[in-house]
């Protein structure tokens, strides 16, 4: 696209292309050019975590049941996720991005927002900056990324989506309305199935058509808050702020069983492992939370969540497990076999300044912290299960 460079803000959205599957294709040359699915294995319960571009031609996409993916493309390569590999690649990518600008906000493991305003004096115009970002990522990791650049976060994000895979889109302020006009409204942020049904009923298919509806009419159908959001998006209005220290809202882990489980001992053991994973991630990121969430799913995707607020922030799996298990036992849940169980922590407070407990002992806290850090170090080096705090049942091996 032609560009106008005289504008105050330039925001970039960097999105790795089919990240998990691209990591696997990079490391296994025989997978290149072939349809690849990362997620559950065929014959097992679970969903697609990532789908390569080759397999998407068969209609396979993320979150699809693995049974349906296999029906559509039985010849694909099916792999279990290797999260450590993906995290290593992600760390490399973010180090690359920080060589471009210190103002980098992680949106997920494989995407980020960058404030590149003013970089034209050091690197060049936005198109050159985007090209440089993609080249540096490819050189450092062997992976391709799509980059969208615009005056705010919305346009940058839609730009990167519009040029996938391995592309670059630069949209200046005076191009925003033309860029958005032909897009289906389904591209806009926050549009779920119910909102889509309302737009269908109103005959609204594109952003250009959405602009013709007065805000008051939108409010009648969507409510004040949603109407304002879609009205602003239709005209390209959005935040241009990139927050470098934005923390994730929560950390959670869950497990789907091959067959539904009734045995409380099995559920407790799985919950223990999940709590350990959540706590380890929290400690690695320097986070401590005051809200523990238990997630339970039964047959037919009947899902329940229970939450409890703690008196003080924690990053300790023992506290998370005890709280989550109490929620399981006393959370007024149906007495049915469990299909999925999960645990999460949220409600961050300053981990270095936990709420004081009248009976707390500083030396005990220090020893606990040292113990947990030791477990983390051993786990990082030798894998899960080598060391654990005293949470296991006696029958654990």
> Six-digit token pair at 241?
């702020």
pLDDT of residue 188: 93
DSSP string, 306-325: EEEEEEEEE--HHHHHHHHH
Token pair 């299960």 in the structure block, residue: 385
> Six-digit token pair at 24?
């696997």
Which whole-number Å values give the CA distances from 213 to 226, 229, 236, 244, 326, in the listed order? 14, 13, 15, 36, 50
240-255 burial by CB neighbour count: b if 16+ within 10 A, else e?
A: bebeeeeeeebbbbeb
pLDDT of residue 361: 46
User: What CATH number is given for 181-234 in this structure?
Assistant: 1.10.150.20
pLDDT of residue 121: 85
- Give domain limits for the chain: 1-180, 181-234, 250-382
- Distance, in Å, from the CA atom of 283 to the CA atom of 318, rounded to the nearest integer, reads 13
- Distance, in Å, from the CA atom of 362 to the CA atom of 352, rounded to the nearest integer, reads 13
pTM of the predicted model over 0.75: no
- Distance, in Å, from the CA atom of 101 to the CA atom of 94, rounded to the nearest integer, reads 11
Q: Where are the alpha helices (DSSP H) in the chain?
A: 19-27, 53-56, 66-72, 83-100, 126-141, 153-162, 176-180, 193-202, 207-211, 215-222, 224-234, 264-284, 317-330, 362-382
204-237 burial by CB neighbour count: b if 16+ within 10 A, else e?
A: bebbbbbeebeeeebeeebeeebbebbbebbebb
CA-based max dimension of the chain: 68
pLDDT of residue 94: 94
pLDDT of residue 2: 42
- Distance, in Å, from the CA atom of 134 to the CA atom of 143, rounded to the nearest integer, reads 9
Active-site residue set: 111
User: What CATH number is given for 1-180 in this structure?
Assistant: 3.30.70.270
pLDDT of residue 358: 36
| Superfamily holding 250-382 | DNA polymerase, Y-family, little finger domain (3.30.1490.100)
CA dihedral (136, 19, 149, 241) positive or negative: negative
Tell me the pLDDT of the chain (397 aa) as tens digits. 444 445 678 999 999 999 999 999 999 999 999 999 999 899 988 889 899 999 999 999 988 999 999 999 999 999 999 988 998 999 999 999 999 999 999 888 899 999 999 898 889 999 999 999 999 999 999 999 999 999 999 999 999 999 999 999 999 999 999 999 999 999 998 887 888 999 999 999 999 999 999 999 999 998 888 899 999 999 999 999 888 765 567 889 988 887 889 999 999 999 999 999 899 888 877 789 999 999 999 987 788 999 999 999 999 999 999 999 999 999 999 999 999 999 999 998 644 344 334 334 444 455 555 555 555 554 454 444 444 555 444 333 3
**Phi, psi dihedral angles at 342 (to 5 degrees):** -150, 160
Neighbours of 30 (CB within 10 A): 8
pLDDT of residue 244: 77
Neighbours of 105 (CB within 10 A): 19
**In terms of Cα–Cα distance, which of 276, 296, 224 is closest to 383?**
276
Neighbours of 44 (CB within 10 A): 13
């Amino acid at each position: 696209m032609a560009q106008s460079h005289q504008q105050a803000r330039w925001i970039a959205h960097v999105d790795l292309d089919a990240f998990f599957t691209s990591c696997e294709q990079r490391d296994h040359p025989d997978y290149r050019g072939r349809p690849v699915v990362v997620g559950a294995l065929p014959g097992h319960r679970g969903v697609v975590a990532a789908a390569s571009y080759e397999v998407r031609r068969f209609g396979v996409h993320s979150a699809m049941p693995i049974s349906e993916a296999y029906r559509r493309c039985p010849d694909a390569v099916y792999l279990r996720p290797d999260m450590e590999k993906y995290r290593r690649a992600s760390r490399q990518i973010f180090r690359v991005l920080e060589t471009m600008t210190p103002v980098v906000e992680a949106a997920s493991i494989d995407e980020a927002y960058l404030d590149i305003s003013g970089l034209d004096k050091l690197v060049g115009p936005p198109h050159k900056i985007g090209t440089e970002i993609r080249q540096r990522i490819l050189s450092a990791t062997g992976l391709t990324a799509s980059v969208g650049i615009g005056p705010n976060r919305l346009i940058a994000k839609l730009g990167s989506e519009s040029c996938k895979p391995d592309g670059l889109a630069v949209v200046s302020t005076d191009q925003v309305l033309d860029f958005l006009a032909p897009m289906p409204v389904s591209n806009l942020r926050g549009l779920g199935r119910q909102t889509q049904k309302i737009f269908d009923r109103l005959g609204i298919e594109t952003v250009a058509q959405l602009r013709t509806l007065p805000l008051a009419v939108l409010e009648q159908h969507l409510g004040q808050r949603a109407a304002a959001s879609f009205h602003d998006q239709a005209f390209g209005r959005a935040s241009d702020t990139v927050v470098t220290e934005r923390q994730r809202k929560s950390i959670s882990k869950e497990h789907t069983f091959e067959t539904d489980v009734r045995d409380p001992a099995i559920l407790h053991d799985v919950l223990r492992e999940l709590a350990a994973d959540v706590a380890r991630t929290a400690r690695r990121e320097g986070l401590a939370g005051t809200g523990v969430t238990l997630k339970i799913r039964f047959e037919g995707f009947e899902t329940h969540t229970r939450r409890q607020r703690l008196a003080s922030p924690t990053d300790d799996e023992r506290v998370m497990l005890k709280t989550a298990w109490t929620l399981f036992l006393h959370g007024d849940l149906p007495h049915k076999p469990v299909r999925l169980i999960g645990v999460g922590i949220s409600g961050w407070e300053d981990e270095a300044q936990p709420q004081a407990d009248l009976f707390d002992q500083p030396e005990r806290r220090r020893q606990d912290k040292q113990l947990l850090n030791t477990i983390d170090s051993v786990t990082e080096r030798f894998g899960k299960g080598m060391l654990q705090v005293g949470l296991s049942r006696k029958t654990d091996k």
